[in-house]
Amino acid sequence: MDSDLGNLRELQKEDAEILRLKQEIASLPRRVAAIEAKLANARGRKQEAEAALKADEAARRKLESQIQDLRQKISKYRDQMLDVKTNDQYRALTAEVEFAQKEIRSCEDKILEGMVNAEEKEKQLKQADADLKAETAEIEKEKAAARVRTEEDQALLSAAEKRRQQLRSAIDSAVLQHYERVAKLRGTGLAEAIDQRCSACSVLIRPQVWNDIQAGNGVIYCDACQRVLVFDPALQTPPPEEKGRKGSKSAAEAPAPPVTS
């Protein structure tokens, strides 16, 4: 095989590996962002639980303040009852006292209900806090692993780019220029020639060109996609007659049956 063809094979492998490594390195910020999003979700659950408890505490204090105000009103109404002159005034003040007492009972019921809910919310807060601690530890491990993987990729990328430069320097400049121009345009600059077709664009290869490719007569380009064509006998489909030979021997080659008297 032409040395340029062998080097081009290796160059295309290095180009593919370099592209893979660059994409993986570029994906690190997205991976870290996804990891941070998981942590933010855990923090959010804890903050929601804390906010719910604070809201309940504020509501309880408000109800307690209302109860205090209502008790003061009751005391005032009772003082006024001592000075009333008519039954209508007395009944009116009595109604105000009863209404205030009803409001106090309602506030007390709400406080008790809030206390029951607070117990459940405290459990939720404890669970959210435990989840946050566990996820923080796990996420730190994931971030550390992502940083290590990126460092490894950077080292692999540096080595691959060094090998790529060595391969480029060993290839004829005109061939290299053609390969890189096609690779930039089509993604790859080299294609296997399989069963008299270009494996990249499937265009049929002319018989004489096919013979030259099989013989390794220099660097040959696909007439359609302009990729460099390379030949590997292992990738070709065996002729039908060769498949048949792998079976039993022909009748002519088979041993004669024994003669019986």
DSSP 260: -
In 3D space, the residue among 79, 81, 82, 101 whose CA is nearest the CA of residue 91 turns out to be 81
Tell me how far apart the 2 most distant CA atoms of the chain are, in Å.
Answer: 153
Domain boundaries, the chain: 9-169, 173-244
DSSP 199: T
- Mean pLDDT of the residues in the chain: 86
Residues 6 or more apart whose CB falls under 8 angstroms from that of 108 comprise 63, 67
| Average pLDDT value for residue range 199-212 | 95
Is the distance from CB of 203 to CB of 224 less than 8 angstroms? yes
Total Cβ atoms within 10 A of residue 223: 14
d(CA 223, CA 197): 11
139-181: per-residue pLDDT in tens? 888 888 888 988 999 999 999 999 999 999 999 999 999 999 9
**What CATH architecture applies to the domain 9-169?**
Orthogonal Bundle (1.10)
pLDDT tops 90 at residue 223:
yes
Expressed in angstroms, the distance from the first to the final Cα of the chain is: 62
pTM of the predicted protein model = 0.56
6-30: per-residue pLDDT in tens? 999 999 999 999 999 999 888 888 8
